[in-house]
Structure formats: C-alpha cells, structure tokens
C-alpha cells in the first residue's frame, strides 16, 4: 500500500468524525515545543521519569491538543510506537500491530498508535522510520513526530548501540520535518542521543539519574528533586539550546463522566 499524499486535505481522516476526547483544557508545556519539528534545530527530545510519574499522561493529553491545534497542519502525523501497549489507545479508533495496519492508519488518521509484538519490534520500527523518511522526501508538506516509548529497549548506552534508522532520524530528520521523542523510565545515558537533543522533559527520577543530571548537564539534582517532589506529576523542561530550566505544574485531568457522577474529588495531584 502506498501513501496518497494528494488526499491530505480531502477530509479523509477518520478522526475528523471522531477526535480523541480532550482530557485537559490546557497543556502547561506547549505541544508545539514537545512535538513540533523545527527544521532549524536537531529534532530529538527526551522524556524521562520513574514508572507512574506521568510521562504518558502528559504526552497523551498533548496529542489530543495537537490534533486540534492550528500549529500542526493536516499533513502532520503523530506516530506512537508503544512497546508497552499502554496509555495511548484512547487516541485512536484502532491500534495497529503490523506494517499493513500502520500504512492504512497513516493514510487515514493524524494519530497512529502502534502496539508492536516484542519479537518483531526492532524490524517494525526500522520499517516505520524508513517509511516516514520516504514520505518526507516525497513531499515538502509532510511532517511527522514519532514517540518511541521505552526507548532503552532499542537504544543502548554506546553510539554503536543505536539502530541506524534512529541515527538517521536524529541526524537527517530535522531538515525533513521529522522529530523524535525518546520516552524512558531511566535517563538514557547515551552521549550520542544527548548531542542530538533539543530538550529534556523530566518527571520524578530515580536517584542515580538525579546524579547523572549533574555530570551530564551541570544541573542541580537536589533542586530538581525537591521541586518535583512538591507536586505529584509535576515536571521540568530543560531547554538544551538556551540552557533554561523551567518547572511545570501537573496537567489537570478532567473527571471522567463516572467520576463526576460519584462526585469524587478526581485525579489531580496535590
Ligand atoms: N497529571 C496527572 N494528574 C492526575 N493523575 C495523573 C497525572 N499524571 C499521571 N497520573 C496518574 O498516574 C498514572 C500513571 O501515569 P503515567 O501512565 O503517565 O505514568 P508513566 O510515567 O507513563 O509510567 P510508565 O513509565 O510506567 O509508563 C496514570 O494512570 C494516572 O492515574
Ligand atoms: Mg508510560
């Protein structure tokens, strides 16, 4: 199956009829900063924090904003490669688990959520990246953001332990409007990905990772830990271009209809 770029603005995509439900009214960190591929800068961002710290909730909510936002054209595609199969399925009518499903969904929707089989994940990821490159080379209008969940499954700690497709994405994606978000529970200690990154979203981190921040970026781990502990699910954004560190309140999730009925106090952090 081929991607029919001509159809981009012909009202083809399923989500026009059924956009994913918006979970928050406002995203503290602009989705454009998170997902936008700036053709003048490296295009990798890293997102890390221990399990349950709020990474997926933030990215999921940012995605529901991005599909409604004029900052993202209708030729932009968000692709979530989620090896854990958890936390993005409500963004789409159907998740996909093979190349055929991926190509179909990419034709019809701006958000595609891939639930790969662990055994075939490496090869599948290569196929996805190669396809995004082909499309970007065919059309100047095409742009895409790839969220790679549990990125340490695919990226080791040395420059040699990164799949060539990811290297290609990180080095050549910028000029083609492709951007990559590496999401992981532990701070990836890979110097190569660090040099390609524009920013880091930090949720509450494991202690050894706090220490790493000092070594790698000269950041004060105590300050960061103290600030992030003050509010559950809060996070920081370290801009590696201008070296600014900003702290953000947790996003405030809307109550689900059943929570509202019960009159419960909801899900927001303290
Ligand atoms: N901003 C928030 N407000 C209220 N609850 C939240 C918020 N963020 C996360 N949670 C709660 O914490 C749970 C775990 O969050 P999330 O799935 O985002 O963690 P994670 O960092 O992606 O973890 P993992 O690394 O295991 O995937 C959510 O299911 C939700 O119940
Ligand atoms: Mg998660």
Residue 63 lies inside a defined structural domain of this protein: yes
Question: Residue 8's pLDDT band (boundaries 50, 70, 90)?
Answer: very low
C-beta 127 within 6 A of ligand 1: no
Cα three-residue angle 267-268-270, rounded to 5 degrees: 125
Residue 189 lies inside a defined structural domain of this protein: yes
| Tens digit of each residue's pLDDT (9 = 90 or more) over 124-135 | 999 999 999 999
- pLDDT for 270 beyond 60: no
Question: Residue 269's pLDDT band (boundaries 50, 70, 90)?
Answer: very low
Question: What would the two tokens of residue 239 be?
Answer: 């801009």
Higher pLDDT, 151 or 269: 151
Residue 201 lies inside a defined structural domain of this protein: yes
| Tens digit of each residue's pLDDT (9 = 90 or more) over 192-246 | 888 888 899 999 998 888 778 888 888 888 889 999 999 999 999 999 888 899 9
For ligand 1, what atom is nearest to the CA of residue 267?
4
- In this structure, the residue with its CA closest to atom 14 of ligand 1 is 52
Other CB atoms closer than 10 Å to residue 117's CB: what's the count?
11
Is the distance from CB of 193 to CB of 170 less than 8 angstroms?
yes
Question: Residue 7's pLDDT band (boundaries 50, 70, 90)?
Answer: very low
Q: Tally the domains of the chain.
A: 1
Average pLDDT over residues 175-184: 92
Residue 21 lies inside a defined structural domain of this protein: yes
* CA pair distance 142, 269, nearest whole angstrom: 38
CA of 22 from ligand 1 middle (Å) equals 16
- pLDDT for 118 beyond 50: yes
Task: Give the mean pLDDT of the chain.
Answer: 84
CATH of residue 172's domain is 3.40.50.300
Question: Residue 188's pLDDT band (boundaries 50, 70, 90)?
Answer: low
Residue 133 lies inside a defined structural domain of this protein: yes
Range of the domain at 186: 2-260
Q: Which residues lie below 8 Å from residue 10, measured CB to CB, with a gap of 6+?
A: none
Comparing 7-21, 59-73, 149-163, which segment has the lowest mean pLDDT? 7-21
For ligand 1, what atom is nearest to the CA of residue 185?
25
Higher pLDDT, 55 or 170: 55
Residue 265 lies inside a defined structural domain of this protein: no
- pLDDT for 17 beyond 80: no
- pLDDT for 264 beyond 60: no
- pLDDT for 180 beyond 90: yes
C-beta 267 within 6 A of ligand 1: yes
SS (H, E, C) 86-127: CCCHHHCCCCECCHHHHHHHHHHCCEEEECCCHHHHHHHHHH
* CA pair distance 59, 255, nearest whole angstrom: 18
Residue 228 lies inside a defined structural domain of this protein: yes
How confident is the model at residue 6, as a pLDDT? 40
How confident is the model at residue 261, as a pLDDT? 62
Cα three-residue angle 180-186-192, rounded to 5 degrees: 50
Q: H-type helices in the chain, by residue range?
A: 31-35, 55-66, 99-108, 121-138, 164-176, 191-195, 207-217, 221-230, 257-262
CA of 186 from ligand 2 middle (Å) equals 12
Question: Residue 26's pLDDT band (boundaries 50, 70, 90)?
Answer: confident
Residue 186 lies inside a defined structural domain of this protein: yes
């Amino acid at each position: 199956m081929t991607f029919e770029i001509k159809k981009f603005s012909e009202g083809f995509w399923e989500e026009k009829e059924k956009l994913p439900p918006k979970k928050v009214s406002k995203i503290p960190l602009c989705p454009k900063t998170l997902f936008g591929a700036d053709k003048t800068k490296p295009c990798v961002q890293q997102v890390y924090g221990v399990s349950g710290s709020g990474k997926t909730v933030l990215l999921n909510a940012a995605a529901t904003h991005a599909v409604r936002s004029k900052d993202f054209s209708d030729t932009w595609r968000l692709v979530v490669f989620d090896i854990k199969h958890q936390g993005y399925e409500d963004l789409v009518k159907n998740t996909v688990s093979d190349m055929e499903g991926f190509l179909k969904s990419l034709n019809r929707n701006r958000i595609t959520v891939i639930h790969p089989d662990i055994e075939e994940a490496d090869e599948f990821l290569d196929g996805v990246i190669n396809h995004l490159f082909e499309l970007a080379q065919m059309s100047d209008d095409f742009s895409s953001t790839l969220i790679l969940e549990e990125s340490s499954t695919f990226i080791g700690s040395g420059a040699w332990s990164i799949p060539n497709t990811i290297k290609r994405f990180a080095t050549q994606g910028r000029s083609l409007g492709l951007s990559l978000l590496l999401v992981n529970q532990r701070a990836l200690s890979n110097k190569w990905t660090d040099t390609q990154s524009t920013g880091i979203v930090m949720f509450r981190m494991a202690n050894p990772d706090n220490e790493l921040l000092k070594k790698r970026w000269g950041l004060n781990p105590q300050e960061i830990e103290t600030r992030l502990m003050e509010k559950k699910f809060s996070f920081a954004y370290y801009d590696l271009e201008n070296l600014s560190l900003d702290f953000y309140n947790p996003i405030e999730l809307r109550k689900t209809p059943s929570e509202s009925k019960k009159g419960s106090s909801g899900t927001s952090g303290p």
